[in-house]
Chain A
Amino acid sequence: MELGYDVKELLKWSAETKLRQLSRKEELFTHGHRMCAGCGAPTVVKMVLMATDYPAVASNATGCLEVSSCIQEFTAWKIPWIHTAFENAAATLSGAETMYRALLKKGKMPENVKFIAFGGDGGTYDIGLQSLSGAMERRHDMLYICYDNGAYMNTGIQRSSATPLGADTTTSPAGSANPAGKVQPRKDLTRIMAAHGIPYAAQASISHWADFIRKVRKAHEIKGPKFINVLSPCNRGWRTATDNSVQLSRLAVETCYWPLYEIEDGKLTVTVKPAQKRPVAEFMKPQGRFKHLFVPENAGMLARVQEEVDRNWQRLLRESGEAAE
């Protein structure tokens, strides 16, 4: 396998983010959790907490991350953490954040405590969308991190509204009557969040860790609701090897399947522009969930996926003021 990162880029970013300093920080999401080997989600959490230079309180939607990180008397969380249910990580955290403000004004809490919610795509795009929308509209001072692995992985790979066009899942299986898998494109949640008029919405990827860390740090310096959507490879659901979640994340960015951008006070900026945009098939090919598309009969479907990616990318470039490609 090729390296999951570009050495030159890594050196450049490491200078900016002081990699050494980061590596010396206490890990607030510890080893010993029971996430699958090769899962992207714990890396997402580790990076978020690594980028958090303040005391923080986390809320977690029901899902893989939650069931695997706090079992009975064991917890992987070294910061205050709360899980209540599936669809309400944002509402639950909005309650904790409000109590914090109530106690802060009575002088019972220190300033600058950060509130971070973690939810998968099922808990964020689907069942938790209303709760998230409400919390964003109420302008709670919180950062919502969606780790998007593109399906309900915890219950066994059922399609969500984040599942990509053409993916085979257990509830959108490719079969003789429907050889395409999921026939609908993804919901564009990052834009939906930005449409709330929140001060900061962004997409990030663990492969571009400096960009990711910068975004989390930036979010923490902004008062109000923030949303970061992070691609999170799942080898069980994507039908991939357990050693390439970073490489796959990188391919997702380089094919513009998962563009890295931020929308700050309405202004869209593409934060990482691939030197050369690669065909989306390069991202899809290593994944078993798209295997059925790589047959001649499904060539049209593959082309449709590419068209979706291209249209979205051109739109991003246009809105960011960059020249279209």
Chain B
Amino acid sequence: MGKIVAVTGNEAVANALRQANPDVCSLYPITPQTDIVQRFSSFVSNGVVDTELINAESEHSAMSAAIGAAAAGGRVITATSSQGLALMWEMLHIASGMNLPIVMPLVNRALSAPLNIHGDHSDGMGARDTGWIQLWSENAQEAYDNTIMAFRIAEHKDLRLPAMVCMDGFIISHSIERMEYLDDQPVKDFIGPYEQVNPLLDLQHPKSFGPLILTDLYHEYKRLQHEIIGRAKNIVLQVSDEFAKLSGRKYGLFESYRLEDAEVALVVLNSAAGTSKDVVDAMRDKGIKAGLLKPRLFRPFPYEEVGSALRHLKAVCVLDRADSYGGYGPMFMEISSAIYQAAGTGSGPRLVNKIYGLGGRDYMPEDAGKVLVELDAIAKGASVKAVKEYIGVRE
């Protein structure tokens, strides 16, 4: 069986990558992700993986090289954060448009300006429309588990799409937690060997990758992309079921916490969900019927399932650790859409949006507590003062 360890999120993810033993890793340092590629480089230098490294001169080239390598026909990884993901943005669309199952841990960090190295979700949210599968992780254990599962999901023959595994910068990447490593061989067996599909390096059957396609077929191509990524929901569930047999840890499309009989709920991603669950428990003790939904698969977004899980509530707050200036928070827009489609107009929960924790601002239990008290009041008939508000702000 596995081994209980005390490790950082970065160390956990680096070990998942080691166990996957990719053919090629292209890399470029950026805080707070650097630790992952440093550790992976030492695996290469010490011969514990068979991987060839590409020390790219930028994230743009790191992703370009990852694309070239994946197209060539093998398992490819890279990792990034923040500005690095922003610089890759052009190439993210090309990786997915070419159906290349690259696996990329994304250690979530704020975007400049002003420059800030700490954790928020601006980077990942900015890449939500790039055609990548996105799995979000609350803690080191989930980041490790998601990374292992990401290979199976991305490389699934019905998908062949790139996947990013998100975890919070510093809060998870650099904090030491108790977690369980699975043994190498069961993980290797679970992930399995890489299977080539139309490799560029098939010299006997030359292929052209990356054609020009204009008005006559581009539209159809993009619809196909939407249809293909939609298959990820079932594949994620299948892979997660298999993973549960291996690890004893169960994952769905999202996590429901005390939601079934709840009247009010928080929707929150990643590390803040852990804090929030404690506060949900405390509020339950005070008689507030609180619950929580933590999305895991953010792309493709499971609208129907999330809508069904939330439609019975009286009030919901979507906590966004990213912003859309002049708009609602990015996750709020998804949850609003999901609930509207599930409950229809005039029914379903009242919705508010709180922007929290930008640039690594601490998210405290009191913040979650205040939001739940406000939701309880809304559930009892109080009016919504503001749909979108910033919490934890220094005035």
A residues with a Cβ closer than 8 A to B are: 55, 57, 59-60, 66-67, 70-73, 75, 77-85, 87-88, 91-103, 105-106, 109-110, 113, 130-131, 133-135, 137-138
Verify A77–B68 contact, CB threshold 8 A: no
Q: A161 vs B18: C-alpha distance in the bound complex, in angstroms?
A: 43
Verify A103–B217 contact, CB threshold 8 A: no
Q: A88 vs B26: C-alpha distance in the bound complex, in angstroms?
A: 14
Query: Closest A-chain residue to B205, C-beta based?
Result: A80
Verify A92–B202 contact, CB threshold 8 A: no
Contact status of A138 and B54, CB under 8 A, knowing A72-B211, A80-B206, A103-B74? yes
Q: A106 vs B73: C-alpha distance in the bound complex, in angstroms?
A: 13
Contact status of A99 and B61, CB under 8 A, knowing A72-B216, A79-B206? no
Verify A55–B203 contact, CB threshold 8 A: yes
Q: A278 vs B61: C-alpha distance in the bound complex, in angstroms?
A: 42
B residues with a Cβ closer than 8 A to A are: 23-24, 26, 50-52, 54-58, 60-61, 64-74, 76, 90-91, 94, 98, 200-203, 206-214, 216-217
Tell me how far the C-beta of B181 lies from the nearest C-beta in chain A, rounded to whole angstroms.
25
User: What would 29 A/B residue contacts be, using CB atoms closer than 8 Å?
Assistant: A60-B210, A66-B212, A70-B210, A71-B211, A71-B212, A72-B214, A77-B206, A80-B200, A80-B202, A80-B208, A81-B209, A84-B67, A84-B98, A84-B210, A85-B64, A85-B94, A88-B61, A91-B64, A91-B68, A92-B64, A95-B67, A95-B69, A96-B69, A102-B24, A102-B52, A103-B72, A106-B50, A130-B61, A131-B57
For B211, the chain A residues whose CB sits under 8 A away are 70-73, 75, 83
Verify A57–B201 contact, CB threshold 8 A: yes
Query: Closest A-chain residue to B93, C-beta based?
Result: A85
Instruction: Identify A99's interface contact among B24, B56, B60, B217, CB under 8 A.
Output: B24
Tell me how far the C-beta of B98 lies from the nearest C-beta in chain A, rounded to whole angstroms.
8
Q: A294 vs B307: C-alpha distance in the bound complex, in angstroms?
A: 73
Instruction: Identify B52's interface contact among A55, A66, A72, A98, CB under 8 A.
Output: A98
Contact status of A134 and B57, CB under 8 A, knowing A72-B211, A81-B206? yes
Q: A81 vs B72: C-alpha distance in the bound complex, in angstroms?
A: 10
The 6 closest A-B pairs by CB, nearest first: A95-B68, A134-B57, A95-B65, A99-B72, A83-B210, A95-B69
Q: Which of A95, A98, A101, A138 has the most CB of B within 10 A?
A: A95
Contact status of A83 and B52, CB under 8 A, knowing A55-B203, A95-B68, A96-B201? no
Q: A137 vs B61: C-alpha distance in the bound complex, in angstroms?
A: 13
Tell me how far the C-beta of B151 lies from the nearest C-beta in chain A, rounded to whole angstroms.
16
Query: Closest A-chain residue to B66, C-beta based?
Result: A95
Instruction: Identify B23's interface contact among A103, A113, A137, CB under 8 A.
Output: A103
Q: A110 vs B201: C-alpha distance in the bound complex, in angstroms?
A: 10
Verify A91–B74 contact, CB threshold 8 A: no
Tell me how far the C-beta of A180 lies from the nearest C-beta in chain B, rounded to whole angstroms.
35
Tell me how far the C-beta of A162 lies from the nearest C-beta in chain B, rounded to whole angstroms.
21
New contact pairs (13) apart from A81-B206, A95-B26, A100-B201, CB-CB < 8 Å? A70-B212, A82-B200, A83-B209, A83-B210, A92-B65, A95-B71, A95-B76, A98-B54, A99-B24, A99-B76, A102-B51, A110-B203, A131-B61
